[in-house]
Amino acid sequence: MKVFNDLADFSNDEIQALLELSNRLDAYPEPQALRGKVLSLLFLSPSLRTLASFQAAMTRLGGGSFVISPDMSIHGLETRPGIVMDGAAAEHIREAVPVIASYGDAIGIRAFAERKNLEKDMAEQEFAALTGLIDTPYINMESAMNHPCQNLADWKTMDDLDIPSNGGKFVLSWAYHPKALPLAVPASTLYTAARRGMDVTVLRPEGFELPEPLMQKASEAAAANGGSVTESDDRSEAMEGAHVIYAKSWSSTRHYGDRLKDQELRNELVDWCVDEPWFDNARDDCRFMHCLPVRRGVVVSEPVLDGPRSVVIPEARNRMLAQMAVLHQMLGGTS
Ligand code: CP
């Protein structure tokens, strides 16, 4: 494997192989598998889980890693193309990225969407500009529309809980958040649940519809794997018989790039906080998933987050295990 960028790039057999490898590495650790290997980690956007879980994954496999982010004591990173660098930043990503990549055997890159132009973000122009600077194997640690490490961990989490693929009902729900957040998690989570063959409902208020190309991509993946994709703004209807609710806030697609109009719209939606009454129509054992970080009492109530439905902690631990499998394959792990 040279690139881990999008689950859509992998066959069902390849995804299953990664999931099986992650389970094997959990049960039977391989502390020498990546001895002498180095992973470069470039964070152009903030992180807790991705930062810590990649470092832990490399250490558990016997390799090493280093982290670079703009918040560190570096020279100030310029990202704009064609700029005359007479401002604060003394280093351009055109040099920084290949230099960082050259120190490792693979590189992980995180760069959130600019969130000014939906078409540009959907085309992944920024991430492609970064990966175009390197020829080392790379891992997408979250870009404008993708978060494949989260997706693989979420798939494993549902497998671990025996949540059915075919016949399993997955509700991807928008939730209130005071800020307009990127589309990477909802877009790639929608695809993942559809690809797993689940019956997926996107529950969202008007103005927060996911873009049609993403719905189409997910519908095709669902159809090919025995599932389906629908959308609704009716909470009770959407939650009927649900095995999982996966909550996430995202930017208004109606007002993408217009923070003020987005804010006006979301200010009316503070009741989109997942709470126990949401589960009235769901299965008794319906689970609550979220990629974290999550705002308590805003996105989800404390009783749900701290209660038996919530699987957010094992879901976050699975990030490390899923990434161990990716790194093992990418860096030629030996048992
Ligand atoms: N879920 C996730 O990617 O978490 P971080 O943003 O903390 O890395």
* 84-123 pLDDT per residue, tens: 999 999 999 999 999 999 999 999 999 999 899 999 999 9
Rounded Cα distance, 21 and 27, in Å: 10
Domain spans of the chain, in order of start: 3-147+319-330, 162-310
What is the residue with the minimal CA distance to atom 3 of ligand 1? Answer: 50
Average pLDDT, rounded, for the chain: 97
Residue 72: its pLDDT value, please? 85
Question: Of how many residues is the chain composed?
Answer: 335
Residue 74: its pLDDT value, please? 76
Pocket test for ligand 1, best of 179, 319, 323 (most atoms within 8 A of CB): 319
Percent of the chain with pLDDT strictly greater than 70: 99
Contact 244, 155 (CB under 8 A): no
Percent of the chain with pLDDT strictly greater than 90: 95
CB of 47 sitting under 6 A from ligand 1: yes
Ligand 1: centre distance to CA 318 (Å): 12
CB of 318 sitting under 6 A from ligand 1: no
pLDDT at 73 over 80: no
When pLDDT is cut at 50, 70 and 90, the band that residue 333 belongs to is confident
Mean predicted confidence (pLDDT) in 120-137: 96
When pLDDT is cut at 50, 70 and 90, the band that residue 269 belongs to is very high
C-alpha distances (whole Å) from 136 to each of 39, 67, 108 are: 11, 16, 10
Rounded Cα distance, 133 and 120, in Å: 19
Continuous segment of H or E residues that includes residue 287: strand 287-289
Mean predicted confidence (pLDDT) in 163-192: 97
Ligand 1: centre distance to CA 141 (Å): 9
pLDDT at 57 over 80: yes
Ligand 1: centre distance to CA 10 (Å): 22
CB of 323 sitting under 6 A from ligand 1: no
Rounded Cα distance, 195 and 226, in Å: 9
Residue 279: its pLDDT value, please? 98
Mean predicted confidence (pLDDT) in 18-27: 98
Burial class (CB in 10 A: 0-12, 13-18, 19+), 71: exposed
CB of 193 sitting under 6 A from ligand 1: no
CB of 50 sitting under 6 A from ligand 1: yes
Ligand 1: centre distance to CA 66 (Å): 17
Q: Which atom of ligand 1 is nearest to the CA of 147?
A: 3
pLDDT at 63 over 70: yes
Ligand 1: centre distance to CA 237 (Å): 30
Ligand 1: centre distance to CA 53 (Å): 9
CB of 110 sitting under 6 A from ligand 1: no
Domain 3-147+319-330 matches domain 162-310 at the CATH topology level? yes
CATH class of 162-310: alpha beta
pLDDT at 218 over 70: yes
Residue 173: its pLDDT value, please? 98
Residue 335: its pLDDT value, please? 58
What is the residue with the minimal CA distance to atom 6 of ligand 1? Answer: 47
Identify the CATH number of the domain defined by range 3-147+319-330.
3.40.50.1370
CB of 292 sitting under 6 A from ligand 1: yes
Question: pTM for this one?
Answer: 0.97
What is the residue with the minimal CA distance to atom 1 of ligand 1? Answer: 291
* 271-324 pLDDT per residue, tens: 999 999 999 999 999 999 999 999 999 999 999 999 999 999 999 999 999 999
